[in-house]
Structure 1
């Protein structure tokens, strides 16, 4: 297991969020944070700017204090550490269709089932699916099924805090971060799961990163046809936007086939 005195997951304890749109649910990211004895409050997208309404229509905010993306119109792809196991679960509310979480146009749908990555033990395999009670009529985000897109510059987005130690955000923030190769990332952390994790960030100067409350959200870029494609899932890091410590993301292409099979098993 990685040393949580130094590195921690980026789920938020939403009880501390000063926005009425959030509610802490049992079996949530708070439990994931409680399992990380070294976790301390840290922030959403650091160094970001506000996303425009409709710019990333597949973005989802989850009531346990995590992000996600619409994999299908009825299934949200998020991080394994945002949920507690698999099975029936009606405690999660997904908010979609808005950049402003307080907007009266927000679409809110309850969960029905959760499927956490089989074999997840806190290290690697950080993905999960949440089935919703009904479809959301919004565009979905395609996932990468090849490592060909694991390079270049990525976009990150979320409602997490905008600085380390900050609070969760009402408005969706976005930023861009460059790919960091495995060898360099392993040099920073020492315990990277190379085949299952991908890193991104401004290694020398820091200043731009995902942070607490962004867990489970997508890291994405344009594919060869100019369409958005998801290459990562916000997972963990040391602090937020610190020089020398890039953000660590679950490598979506590694799990594409497993995610597809899991989604088929959920139906929808």
Structure 2
């Protein structure tokens, strides 16, 4: 496995118009810091436009990275959500080329360099069979079976297609300061309907498997490179949070007119339940 920090590069609108959204490998490691992002906008926003998460705020949030030497912060390249003690839900583009033994999951803390971080191996991977059908990054989800249970609170899956007004997303991805933080960050992002999202991404938006969120008019708030696979969360009626989406792709980060695109979890719930049951686990 390539141990370099890898993630979906979210291209700037000018470049993307000619190339589309493309999965690439970033040439630097987290410890070395991010390379200069030529697509960075002029606005001051901070995940982009956010703030540091507190311990216990998102207990199900995990980092996904390379197994082997190096700290969790050095090895982390994607995010994920614990949906059962031995199962993590993430993005297909994060793991489609990996073997289970190449991967590790970092749980138990929002601080990837903190003393409470637990590193757990991966025993099996299930990538959505219809990933990238009918469009690029459609059905961008995957499940990881952990080698042993993790002692964190799982998040429930949003099982219907209810449209929420706003969401929260969190992770260790690139900030507006062009850095990868050791402490996870979070930000609130408003819902963008399918019509507006399709206008932003003509011929690339798949309404059946994608949900969009962000500030269309001003930008400034978004997930970014390194947040892929992490959670898009919505408030449930009982005050808890449910997993509504998975950080997937977009043009640039927090660019006006280009919302973040997330895999819509409700679409995949029956298949997820089937795979999890086949592993002998239970949601």
User: Into which bin does the TM-score normalised by the smaller protein fall?
Assistant: 0.7 to 0.9
Q: How many residues align?
A: 244
* Cα pair 1:46 1:210 within 8 Å, conserved: yes
- What are the Cα deviations for residues 71-122 of structure 1, in whole angstroms up to 9, with x where unaligned? 1011100001111268x61111100111111001111101111000012134
Structure 1 window deviating more from structure 2 (104-113 vs 200-209): it is 104-113
What does residue 55 of structure 2 align with? 53
| Alignment equivalent of 1:214, drawn from 227, 250, 262 | 227
- Residue 216 of structure 2 corresponds to residue 203 of structure 1: yes
Measured after TM superposition, the shift of residue 15 of structure 1 is 4.4
What does residue 242 of structure 1 align with? 255
- Residue 157 of structure 2 corresponds to residue 143 of structure 1: yes
Root-mean-square deviation (CA), in Å?
A: 2.4
Please identify runs of 4+ aligned residues in structure 1 that moved more than 4 A. Answer: 39-42
* Alpha-carbon distance in structure 2 between the residues aligned to 1:152 and 1:77: 23
* Alpha-carbon distance in structure 1 between the residues aligned to 2:30 and 2:152: 27
Change (3 A) 1:57 1:116: same
Change (3 A) 1:188 1:219: same
Unaligned runs of 5+ in 1: 21-38
Unaligned runs of 5+ in 2: 1-15, 41-45, 67-76
Structure 1 window deviating more from structure 2 (248-257 vs 112-121): it is 112-121
* Cα pair 1:85 1:115 within 8 Å, conserved: no
Measured after TM superposition, the shift of residue 14 of structure 1 is 7.9
Q: How does 1:2-151 map to 2 (within 5 A)?
A: 5-8=19-22, 13=26, 15-18=28-31, 45-64=47-66, 65-84=77-96, 89-121=100-132, 122-148=136-162, 150-151=163-164
Measured after TM superposition, the shift of residue 12 of structure 1 is 7.0
* Alpha-carbon distance in structure 1 between the residues aligned to 2:274 and 2:257: 37
* Cα pair 2:120 2:148 within 8 Å, conserved: yes
Measured after TM superposition, the shift of residue 146 of structure 1 is 0.3
* Alpha-carbon distance in structure 1 between the residues aligned to 2:251 and 2:51: 22
What does residue 171 of structure 2 align with? 158
What does residue 280 of structure 2 align with? 267
* Cα pair 1:12 1:212 within 8 Å, conserved: no
When the two structures are superposed, what TM-score results if normalisation uses the length of structure 1? 0.84
